[in-house]
Amino acid sequence: MLGLMQSHQLLISSLIEFAERHHGEGEVVSRRVEGDIHRYTYKDVATRARQVANALDDLKLGFSDRVATLAWNGYRHLELYFGVSGSGRVLHTLNPRLHPDQIAWIANHAEDTVLCFDMSFLPIVKAIHSRCTTVKHFVALCDADKLPADSGIPGLVSYEDWIGAQSSHYKWPSFDENSASSMCYTSGTTGHPKAALYSHRSTMLHALSGALPDSLCMSARDSVLPVVPMFHVNAWGLPYSAAMTGAKLVFPGPAMDGKSIFELIESEKVTFAAGVPTVWQMMLSHMQAGGLRFSSLKRTVIGGSACPPAMITAFNDVYGVEVLHAWGMTEMSPLGTVCTLKNKHLPMTSEEKMKVRLKQGRGIFGVDMKIIDGDGHELPWDGKAYGDLLVKGPWIISEYFKGEGGSPLVDGWFPTGDVATIDPDGYMQITDRSKDVIKSGGEWISSIDVENIAMAHPAVAMAACIGMKHPKWDERPIIAVMKKPGFDLTREELLKFYEGKTAKFQIPDDVVFVDAIPLGGTGKMQKTKLRELLKDYKLPGA
Amino acid sequence: MLGLMQSHQLLISSLIEFAERHHGEGEVVSRRVEGDIHRYTYKDVATRARQVANALDDLKLGFSDRVATLAWNGYRHLELYFGVSGSGRVLHTLNPRLHPDQIAWIANHAEDTVLCFDMSFLPIVKAIHSRCTTVKHFVALCDADKLPADSGIPGLVSYEDWIGAQSSHYKWPSFDENSASSMCYTSGTTGHPKAALYSHRSTMLHALSGALPDSLCMSARDSVLPVVPMFHVNAWGLPYSAAMTGAKLVFPGPAMDGKSIFELIESEKVTFAAGVPTVWQMMLSHMQAGGLRFSSLKRTVIGGSACPPAMITAFNDVYGVEVLHAWGMTEMSPLGTVCTLKNKHLPMTSEEKMKVRLKQGRGIFGVDMKIIDGDGHELPWDGKAYGDLLVKGPWIISEYFKGEGGSPLVDGWFPTGDVATIDPDGYMQITDRSKDVIKSGGEWISSIDVENIAMAHPAVAMAACIGMKHPKWDERPIIAVMKKPGFDLTREELLKFYEGKTAKFQIPDDVVFVDAIPLGGTGKMQKTKLRELLKDYKLPGA
């Protein structure tokens, strides 16, 4: 027997409808690419998102057609979030930090039909537009008078012209909540990037659970600054949960230096900010140098890579800001765990609390976790046993777009590639971050990609890339190289060889020449052993 | 194109599974019918809920079969919440405050197959069991040694015997999330009671949205006391949202007097309590008499009927407890609005904030509202225009059980039967019940406004305003008054008391002194009965 309740699909359009109706005067503030501050309301977001939807209809885009963005965090990007997904198309947020070749490959793989980009990224689009064979429409996210006359990009229009011509009346369609809403490619560790394809249902459930008090605790009393880019797994879902709760949204645009971020927090009375450790490190340095203090900031969520204890201490003890350590993945929409305390922790000393805060946190409602040993047996939650971490839940992928990489699930569980412990209270701690990937300033660098370029050099017999601790970027890659007999190769020659073949931040910081790279029984490189061999190594300048 | 996310049905069993795994040591504390305190953990709840499920399987109960309860708020009732719904049966919480004849009628209408009852309600069950023709199994919620030998109830077993015989291993089944999970009859005002039939999906979405910071703000740091009965629309969903967040649960059992409630709040360090105004009135009187203060209570949600301003002031200003005014209905699972402030209100004086707090609040995410005039046209959200309040959302009924009362929806919206204003910030305020509003010469007069003025007179214990037919004005208000013992009050004195406090046309035409005002099972005034009592009454001059 079915219940007798109203049937409403969980759709992303309902978020902006709710925000307009219940929080119409709620503010959305953006630092624009031009450097100035733009300020409007959720009512304006909703109005212009409807114009986006009409503009897409005008282009005769079909249901589930992909609309790509290359954009910073800002109000036009937000309008695309709701206009694209709300009208039944799929929002594809491209990562502008990738190499243009990778971006072109990804746009083709996704079969993007429209590409909307910030003017900062005009050089990238100029370089790749002729290779993006499925893209029929290019939209520059700017006013008409900022549009370059000689871009060479066929049919390029300004966003303001494009949506300005449209009616602001539009009835959001209703459809199956399991329909695709947006997608995000993960760099991965092997082979080509693979995409997570999110659904309206997964996005809505993620936004609900992500806004709970034990997750990011979003309310209409908050002023929220997502420093984490909207091209990184939808800025951890903050654009959605902010609209759901009517929280004020503050977008930093491209200005993510410590001074700009601090000033924005102060001028917009930000109460809650989200970002990777590198960004906070820059901001804390700026504050320390100037003897500055926060007047409004209460909480900050830190994820993307493990948060250094000194940073948690600085926020908590020096600035009185609660740090929420968090963990997730592109494949998880991304929120998996958030480190909020339980009732039992409240009477503890701050030293004892710090031990809890250093962990990646508890699974938010909807995410289940387990750790298994090499034979697949579940390990106890004792805070000591560590094993491969697996997760399941309604906002975790079942497979990648176009079935790339085969079926990733193991008995319905997604293997995260991380090794972790879980304590009796459910707090997870990653002990061995995913084996080989290098996490540099919130970005993942595929060690295999770095190795493949070195291996293409005629003088290289074998190359292994590993991450080395770095005070600012968390980790930086170095490449260990075994030369071919009779060949000469210098550090400088090999580093020069990388130029133009990958994004600059993916070029290793150093080259270490070795006589041999340790191999295991099946011929695979044993990076653990390599790390042991290089345990006394120091990064240049680190 | 569908998204590629894992498929998980939203099921109530997932709540207790999550609580056991992530908050296994989380406490559940109950004052028992016997008067003593019972204390155990979510792990124990989960274990015993599985025993309940096995016990129901043993009885060969089918999917969606109804299992009824007649019980206070306590741990065994909580186990039934999860064991009954989780195993695919429908939990039917009977209201023991109704007349036994009504209870029997409802049990038959629902076709209950099992009836589980607290020993407090043995007299009711003794009186009605032979008339409950569909009930095949009677279970007394007590230990085996407390079971009366001579109850006369065929096959009566004790709950502890019943589940004690069962394995604690059970795999919760997966099924369509739209399946019925529980039901609750609404007393209604005309004809027989009608039932809302909730689904797993509606219950889960309600629990998620209800736990958000702008709703009830539930977290693992809370100790939650639902004084609102579990037979009143599932205690406003608190058993579900507590398990979802790992909040400590504290149940008062039958002891709802001011002293018992206060002592429980203090001994269990309750941070959040929920109940109707009458309960809080008793508690505040007890505290005032003894000069008592709270040591842990931070928030209290007050609903069920409008909260008197003096109560909000007492909690906020005297005791430092934030009052969340809330509004909902059985047909709404029940949460519709909660009065939490927005960012813009924070700098206001407490007087200005009080004006906001007196309203029933903003729609929680998932609930949309509108007000319409007599012709069905939508009215503006200006805080002045008032009209019939309609709602829609995924936890609002589409129709009543067995189609009773026909199709209640109007173009997909559920008419609440309330008359309300909505201000530009989305705060709704109920001005009256639609059927109680007095239509006088084309103007609407709020019976509640008329009553509130009378209630402010020191000699008035209770007052009810109803409309009487009038040849010229269509209807005119009169006020029925029950005097406080030992106080004198004349018709003229009271009418004079109105002068200057309201528009002249809103002053009642007459005062009728009564010995008592009829109250229903939930403590609400029964104006239909009052109208019957006054059926021979004639307006002066009419």
Q: Using CB atoms and an 8 Å cut-off, which of residues 367-396 of chain A contact chain B?
A: 368, 392-396
Mutate: best of A1, A205, A225, partner B, most B CBs <10 A? A1
- Residue A11 has what DSSP assignment? -
The token duo for A104 is 């072109």
Closest-CA residue of chain B to A344: B221
Q: Is B16 on the interface with A (CB under 8 A)?
A: no
| Yes or no, beta carbons of B221 and A342 under 8 Å apart | yes
| Yes or no, beta carbons of B197 and A5 under 8 Å apart | yes
Which residue segments constitute the domains of chain B, with CATH numbers given? 32-175 (3.40.50.980), 438-533 (3.30.300.30)
Looking at chain A, the number of H-run helices and the number of E-run strands are: 16, 25
For residue A306, pLDDT beyond 70: no
List beta partners, residue B92: B68, B183
For residue B310, count other CB atoms closer than 10 A to its CB.
11
Give the burial string for B395-428 (b: 16+ CB within 10 Å, else e): bbbbbbbeeeeeebbeeebbebbbbbbbeebbbb
Main-chain dihedrals φ then ψ at residue B419, nearest 5 degrees: -110, 135
CB-nearest to A22 from B246, B362, B394 is: B362
Q: Using CB atoms and an 8 Å cut-off, which of residues 318-357 of chain B contact chain A?
A: 333, 340-344, 346
If DSSP codes are grouped into helix, strand and coil, which group holds residue B535? coil
* Nearest-angstrom CA–CA distance, A496 and A454: 11
Q: Is B89 on the interface with A (CB under 8 A)?
A: no
| Yes or no, beta carbons of B2 and A180 under 8 Å apart | yes
CB-nearest to A214 from B17, B181, B219 is: B219
pLDDT at residue number A95: 94
Q: Length of chain A in residues, anyone? A: 542
> What order do you get walking across the sheet with A112-117 strand by strand?
A157-158, A137-140, A112-117, A66-70, A90-93, A180-186, A194-199
CB-nearest to B64 from A1, A363, A392 is: A1
Name the one residue in this structure whose structure tokens are 């989780």.
B86
Are β-strands A414-422 and A427-432 bridged in parallel, bridged antiparallel, or unpaired? antiparallel
Please report, for residues A524, B21, B223, the alpha-carbon distance to residue B43 in angstroms, rounded to integers and kept in the order given: 45, 8, 17
| Yes or no, beta carbons of A398 and B5 under 8 Å apart | yes
Sign of CA dihedral B446, B452, B455, B457: negative
Angstroms from B76 CA to nearest CA on chain A: 24
| Yes or no, beta carbons of A3 and B346 under 8 Å apart | no
For residue B155, count other CB atoms closer than 10 A to its CB.
8
Count chain A–chain B contacts defined by CB atoms under 8 A. Answer: 228
pLDDT at residue number A434: 59
**CA nearest B363: which of B431, B301, B304, B422?**
B422
Q: Which residues in chain B touch residue A247, judged by CB atoms under 8 angstroms apart?
A: 343
Q: Is A363 on the interface with B (CB under 8 A)?
A: yes
Prediction pTM value: 0.87
The token duo for A373 is 């040993």
Rg, Å, chain B Cα set: 24
Least confident of A16-20, A160-164, A293-297, A469-473: A469-473
The token duo for B314 is 């007492």
Catalytic residues of B: 186, 331, 439, 444
Closest-CA residue of chain A to B180: A3
Closest-CA residue of chain B to A391: B6
* Nearest-angstrom CA–CA distance, A410 and A391: 10
CB-nearest to A214 from B10, B24, B220 is: B220
pLDDT tens series, chain B, 542 aa? 999 999 999 999 999 999 999 999 999 999 999 899 999 999 999 999 999 999 999 999 999 999 999 999 999 999 999 999 999 999 999 999 888 999 999 999 999 999 999 999 999 999 999 999 999 999 999 999 999 888 999 999 999 999 999 999 999 999 999 999 999 998 655 568 899 999 999 999 999 999 999 999 999 999 999 999 999 999 999 999 999 999 999 999 999 899 999 999 999 999 999 998 888 988 998 999 999 999 999 999 998 777 778 888 889 889 999 999 999 999 999 999 999 999 999 999 988 998 999 899 999 999 999 999 888 999 999 999 989 999 999 999 999 999 998 999 999 999 999 999 999 999 999 988 777 888 887 777 888 889 989 988 999 988 999 999 888 888 899 999 999 889 999 999 999 999 988 888 889 999 999 998 888 766 678 888 898 889 889 888 76
| Yes or no, beta carbons of A3 and B178 under 8 Å apart | yes
For residue A433, pLDDT beyond 60: no
pLDDT at residue number A522: 47
Q: Which residues in chain A touch residue B211, judged by CB atoms under 8 angstroms apart?
A: 212-213
pLDDT higher at B526 or A377: A377
* Nearest-angstrom CA–CA distance, B62 and B173: 13
Are B221 and A346 in contact, with CB atoms under 8 Å apart? Answer: yes
pLDDT at residue number A523: 53
Q: What is the pLDDT of residues B197-225, one digit of tens each?
A: 999 999 999 999 999 999 999 999 999 99
Q: Using CB atoms and an 8 Å cut-off, which of residues 490-509 of chain A contact chain B?
A: none
Is residue A64 exposed (0-12), middle (13-18) or buried (19+ Cβ within 10 Å)? middle
| Yes or no, beta carbons of B23 and A342 under 8 Å apart | yes
Q: Is A43 on the interface with B (CB under 8 A)?
A: no
**CA nearest B527: which of B439, B457, B442, B436?**
B436
Closest-CA residue of chain A to B183: A3
List beta partners, residue A133: none
- Cα dihedral angle (A126, A129, A131, A135), rounded to 10 degrees? 170
Q: Which residues in chain A touch residue B223, judged by CB atoms under 8 angstroms apart?
A: 343
Are A437 and A446 in contact, with CB atoms under 8 Å apart? Answer: yes
Question: At A213, is the pLDDT very low, low, confident or very high (cuts 50, 70, 90)?
Answer: very high
**Helix orientation angle between B200-210 and A200-210, rounded to the nearest 10 degrees:** 40
The 3-state secondary structure of A345-395, one letter per residue = HCCCCHHHHHHHHCCCEEECCCCEEEEECCCCCECCCCCCCEEEEEEECCC
Q: Which residues in chain B touch residue A426, judged by CB atoms under 8 angstroms apart?
A: 21-23
pLDDT at residue number B282: 87
Mean pLDDT of chain A: 92
Are B479 and B537 in contact, with CB atoms under 8 Å apart? Answer: no
Are B195 and B401 in contact, with CB atoms under 8 Å apart? Answer: yes
Q: Is A540 on the interface with B (CB under 8 A)?
A: no
Name the one residue in this structure whose structure tokens are 């109530």.
B12
Q: Is A424 on the interface with B (CB under 8 A)?
A: yes
Q: What is the pLDDT of residues A491-504, one digit of tens each?
A: 999 999 999 988 88
Sign of CA dihedral B390, B393, B395, B399: positive
CB-nearest to B18 from A208, A365, A401 is: A365
Q: Which residues in chain B touch residue A398, judged by CB atoms under 8 angstroms apart?
A: 4-7
Are β-strands A37-41 and A27-31 bridged in parallel, bridged antiparallel, or unpaired? antiparallel
CB-nearest to A5 from B6, B368, B398 is: B398
* Nearest-angstrom CA–CA distance, A165 and B238: 49
| Yes or no, beta carbons of A4 and B398 under 8 Å apart | yes
| Yes or no, beta carbons of A425 and B25 under 8 Å apart | yes
Main-chain dihedrals φ then ψ at residue B512, nearest 5 degrees: -120, 120
DSSP letter string over A513-540? Answer: E-S---B-TTS-B-HHHHHHHTTT---T
- Residue B25 has what DSSP assignment? T
**CA nearest A469: which of A460, A458, A478?**
A478
pLDDT at residue number A214: 97
Q: Which residues in chain A touch residue B6, judged by CB atoms under 8 angstroms apart?
A: 392-398, 409, 412, 414
Name the one residue in this structure whose structure tokens are 């370059």.
A148
* Nearest-angstrom CA–CA distance, B268 and A224: 35
Closest-CA residue of chain B to A179: B2
For residue A239, pLDDT beyond 70: yes
| Yes or no, beta carbons of B220 and A365 under 8 Å apart | no
- Residue A153 has what DSSP assignment? -
Angstroms from A312 CA to nearest CA on chain B: 20
Angstroms from A2 CA to nearest CA on chain B: 4
Q: What is the pLDDT of residues B57-107, one digit of tens each?
A: 999 999 999 999 999 999 999 999 999 999 999 999 999 988 899 999 999
Closest-CA residue of chain A to B179: A2
Main-chain dihedrals φ then ψ at residue B536, nearest 5 degrees: -95, 5
Residue A368 CA neighbour count, 13 Å, CB half: 17
CB-nearest to B397 from A4, A211, A414 is: A4
Residue range A247-276: mean pLDDT, rounded: 96
Angstroms from A3 CA to nearest CA on chain B: 4
CB-nearest to A202 from B3, B205, B398 is: B3
Q: Which helix (H) or strand (E) covers residue A320, if one does? A: none
Residue A487 CA neighbour count, 13 Å, CB half: 16
* Nearest-angstrom CA–CA distance, B290 and B42: 35
Helices (H), ranges, B276-331 = 277-290, 309-313
The 3-state secondary structure of B330-365, one letter per residue = HHHCCEEEECCCCHHHCCCCHHHHHHHHCCCEEECC
- Region of residue A392 (left: phi > 0; alpha: psi -120 to 50; beta: else): beta
* Nearest-angstrom CA–CA distance, B115 and B105: 14
Q: Which residues in chain B touch residue A222, judged by CB atoms under 8 angstroms apart?
A: 343
**Could you report the predicted ipTM of this complex, rounded to two decimals?**
0.89
| Yes or no, beta carbons of B398 and A244 under 8 Å apart | no
Catalytic residues of A: 186, 331, 439, 444
